[in-house]
Every structure is written in C-alpha cells, then in structure tokens.
C-alpha cells in the first residue's frame, strides 16, 4: 500500500513535470527541424501557409530556387536549404567523356538504372561543380547546402542495388598510386584493376573513401569562405556496416568516421518503400546510426533523416507515413523531412499527418 502510494506520488510528479513548460521547451529544443523536401509550390498552390502546417524548414533542389520562392519562404519563417546534386554525371559525361567512370574491365560504366555517376577525381569536373556551389551561395541567402549523390558510381536506392567496381581511369590510378606510394605494374587498365583488387584491396577502399571525404572537405571550405554560417548537410545511403557485404564503405566509399569531420548534418535516406523494408526499419536504422556515430542532441554532427511519403513504387498510406516520420525522429535525431513535398500536398491524409506530428513537436511530446 505504502509502495503503491509512493509510485502514485512519482506518477503525479511526472505528470506535473511533463505538462509544464519545461517538457515542451525541451522537445522544441531537441527537435529543431520540421522539414519538407521539394519545391513548396504544391502546398502554396493549395492555399497552405507552411508555418501553419508546423513546417520550419524547406530543402529544395538548387536548380528550383528562385528569388520569389526565397522571399515567400522567408516571410513564412522558413530556413532554406539547397539540395546540391554533387557526383551525378548525367548530362555532363556525354559532353565531357574524360569524366566518365571506368570499370574494372577498363570500360566506360553503364548507367545504374536512372543514375549515372561521374569520376570524382577528374579535375575539369571538380572545377565545374565547385564553381556551381560558389555561384549558388553568392546568389541566394541560404541556411545551408545538402550534398546529394555523394558516392562512387552505383545505385543504392533500388531493392536490388547495383554495385560496380570503379573507377580505374588514369586520374584515379595515378591518384591512388601517388597517395599510397604503390607502383602499379604496366599493363592494360583491366590488368591494373585486377592487380589492385587482388593485392591492395584494403588500401584501394581506404583511398576511395578519402576521395569522397575530400569532396565534402572542399565543399565545406567554399561554404566557410562564402557563407560561413551555412550548414553542410549530406543525403546518404542508410545501410549499416554489414548490409550488402559492407557495400556502403566498400563500393559507395562512405566512411562515417571521415565524414563526421566535415558534415554538420547527416540525412540518411531511409526510403523504406523504395528499398522494400518495413516501416519499423526506419526507427531501427536511425537508432543504429545515432549509436554508431555517437550522436548527441545539441551537438554536431546532427541527424535529420529523410523519410518516404512518395507513392512510387507502391502506395504509402497516411498511417505508414506517420510511422516513418516518428521513426525518423528516433534516438538522437533532431529533425526530419520527407520525400517529397508534392507527395504530401496531393494527399489530404498526409497533409493532416504532417501537420499533426509537426504541431505536436512544437508543443512538446
Ligand atoms: Zn576516375
């Protein structure tokens, strides 16, 4: 009886604390980003004000940003982040074949379904992309830039990923040889690739991760020069260390221990429908990620996942969308957004879910 009374007092104390301002304030402080990914126009066209929906940040492809959008989004209190497509080569490699990624047979790679990567060490391409970033930062008053397609040529968004061995072009072979001080024996490209993969696989994987990290390093440097307060975010493959035989690091070249030095905010692309996973996987993955990187709320790097609202392939119900939104806020996540704004705008049920979740976050959970 006495014990029961004691528990009742604790329970009442908790109730009092959690209905008080401190709890609400804490939740607001810890979940700082209630985002949407995509041009906000579909929501505006339907007469919505983003702020009234609980949204406080938009993530928009850099090519879709214009002065009118900036003005209206700022007037509704939004933070504005530009998605910056980084290592996709479609439209570039056709015109500049020297930047075409080369496989272990010494051949130009084929597109990986809808994605065509580029050789990340080709100097002309590097100059081109870095110039684009500079121009973007000078033109618009952005709160940050989210790098997208930051990996070696591959396709990780499909249920059956495409994971080729690249890139064995002369720039990459020279770069690897210089960095590791390994002299690659004379021969065809295919023979050189075979020698590397057979005798120096580990050094090769390490070097490839450094090349990807170097992209984030250079991007951060440009941001620090042009717009020092802007954040550097990363949309990335969400696989853990084991999936597909460690392909996130082995093939894509994503090494979190390197990337955490430059990336302010990680946005794992936890597209459960597209990758044919259960909605629960989103929460599991975000908990894993937070633990793996030892993420602490209120400190950098932060985690703001992107979850799937989009109906293709299959249909994502409103209930499922709510599950993955909460899943994206699991553990040490301090924000969330969904793919895409238009997928939410076209479905009243999803608009209602987003408004409910985001409003709850504003009030405190
Ligand atoms: Zn190359």
The pLDDT tens digits of the residues spanning 335-347 come to 999 999 999 999 9
Residue 211 confidence (pLDDT) above 70:
yes
Phi, psi at 144, each rounded to 5°: 175, 170
What's the 98 CA to ligand 1 centre distance in angstroms?
Answer: 9
pLDDT > 50? residue 18: no
Ligand 1 centre distance from Cα of residue 61 (Å): 26
Q: CA–CA separation, 257 vs 52, rounded Å? A: 39
**Which residues fall within 8 angstroms of residue 121, CB to CB, at 6 or more apart?**
167, 169, 171, 172, 175, 211
Round to whole Å and give the CA distance between 222 and 232.
Answer: 10
How many A from CA of 146 to the centre of ligand 1? 24
CA distances from 5 to 15, 56, 249 (A): 15, 43, 54
- Tokens 């090494």 correspond to 255
Predicted local distance difference test score (pLDDT) of residue 363: 83
Which residue has 């850099």 as its token pair?
A: 62
Q: CA 218, 223, 228: angle at the middle one, nearest 5?
A: 140
Angle (CA) 302 307 309, round 5°? 150
Torsional sign, CA 121, 123, 129, 135: positive
**pLDDT tier at 23 (50, 70, 90 boundaries)?**
very low
Distance 102 CA to ligand 1 centre (A): 6
Ligand 1 mean position, distance from CA 75 (Å):
44
Output the pLDDT for position 312.
85
pLDDT at 123: 98
Rounded distance between C-alpha atoms, residue 82 and residue 233, angstroms: 9
Q: How far is the CA of 63 from the centre of ligand 1 (A)?
A: 26
Cis? peptide before 340, omega within 30° of 0:
yes
pLDDT band per the 50, 70, 90 thresholds, residue 4: very low
Q: What spacing in Å lies between the alpha carbon of 352 and ligand 1's midpoint?
A: 47
* Ligand 1 mean position, distance from CA 152 (Å): 9
> Binning pLDDT at 50, 70 and 90, where does residue 22 land?
very low
Q: What is the mean pLDDT of residues 28-53?
A: 93
Identify the helix (H) or strand (E) that includes residue 20: none
Question: The domain 33-102+113-159+213-363: what is its CATH number?
Answer: 3.20.20.80
User: Which DSSP state fits 98?
Assistant: G
Distance CA 25, CA 362 (A): 9
CA of 118 to the centre of ligand 1 (A): 8
- 70 pLDDT band (50/70/90 cuts)? very high
Distance, CA 174 to ligand 1 centroid (Å)? 9
Predicted confidence band of residue 295 (pLDDT cuts 50, 70, 90): very high
For residues 364 and 329, is the Cβ–Cβ distance under 8 A? no
Separation of CA 184 and ligand 1 centre (Å):
15
What distance in angstroms lies between residue 243's CA and the mean position of ligand 1's atoms? 25
**Distance of CA 99 from the midpoint of ligand 1 (Å):** 7
Cα–Cα distances in angstroms (integers) from residue 175 to residues 86, 116, 150, 233, 286, in the given order: 20, 22, 19, 27, 35
pLDDT band at 20 (very low <50, low <70, confident <90, very high): very low
Tell me, what's the pLDDT at 313?
83
Distance 145 CA to ligand 1 centre (A): 25
Residue 2 has pLDDT above 50, yes or no: no
Give 37 Cα–ligand 1 centroid separation in angstroms.
Answer: 31
DSSP state of 109: P
Instruction: Please give the structure tokens belonging to residue 134.
Output: 């500079």
Helix 348-363 / helix 318-327 crossing angle, nearest 10 deg: 30
358 vs 7: which has the higher pLDDT? 358
Cα 103 to middle of ligand 1, angstroms:
9
Instruction: Name residue 308's beta-bridge partners.
Output: 339
Find the 173 Cα to ligand 1 centroid distance in Å: 7
Band of pLDDT at residue 24, cut at 50, 70 and 90: very low
Q: Among candidates 226, 230, 184, 231, which has minimal Cα distance to 204?
A: 184
Residue 170: how many other CB atoms lie within 10 Å? 14
How much distance in Å is there from the Cα of 167 to the middle of ligand 1? 4
- Residue spans of the domains in the chain: they are 33-102+113-159+213-363
């Amino acid at each position: 009886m006495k014990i029961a009374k004691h528990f009742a007092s604790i329970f009442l104390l908790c109730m009092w604390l959690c209905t008080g301002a401190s709890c609400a304030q804490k939740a607001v402080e810890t979940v700082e980003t209630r985002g949407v990914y995509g041009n906000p126009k579909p929501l505006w066209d339907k007469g919505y004000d983003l702020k009234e929906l609980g949204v406080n940040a938009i993530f928009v492809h850099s090519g879709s940003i214009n002065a009118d959008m900036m003005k209206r989004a700022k007037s509704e209190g939004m933070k504005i982040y530009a998605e910056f497509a980084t290592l996709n080569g479609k439209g570039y490699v056709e015109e500049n074949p020297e930047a075409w990624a080369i496989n272990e047979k010494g051949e130009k790679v084929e597109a990986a379904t809808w994605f065509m990567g580029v050789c990340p060490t080709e100097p002309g391409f590097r100059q081109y992309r870095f110039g684009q970033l500079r121009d973007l930062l000078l033109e618009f008053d952005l709160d940050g830039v989210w790098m997208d397609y930051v990996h070696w040529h591959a396709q990780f968004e499909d249920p059956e990923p495409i994971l080729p061995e690249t890139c064995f072009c002369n720039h990459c072979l020279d770069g690897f040889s210089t960095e590791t001080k390994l002299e690659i024996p004379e021969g065809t490209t295919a023979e050189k690739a075979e020698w590397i993969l057979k005798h120096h696989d580990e050094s090769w994987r390490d070097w490839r991760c450094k090349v990807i990290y170097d992209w984030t390093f250079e991007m951060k440097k440009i941001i620090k020069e042009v717009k020092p307060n802007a954040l550097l975010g990363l949309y990335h493959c969400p696989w853990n260390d084991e999936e597909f035989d460690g392909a996130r690091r082995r093939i894509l070249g994503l090494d979190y221990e390197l990337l955490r030095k430059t990336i302010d905010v990680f946005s794992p692309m936890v597209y459960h429908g597209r990758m044919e996973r259960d909605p629960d996987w989103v929460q599991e993955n975000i908990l894993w990620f937070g633990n793996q990187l030892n993420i602490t709320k209120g400190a950098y790097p932060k985690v703001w996942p992107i979850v799937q609202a989009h109906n293709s392939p299959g249909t994502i119900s409103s209930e499922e969308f709510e599950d993955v939104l909460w899943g994206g806020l699991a553990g040490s996540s301090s924000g969330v957004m969904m793919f895409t704004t238009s997928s939410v705008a076209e479905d009243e049920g999803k608009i209602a879910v987003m408004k409910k979740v985001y409003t709850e976050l504003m009030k405190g959970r």
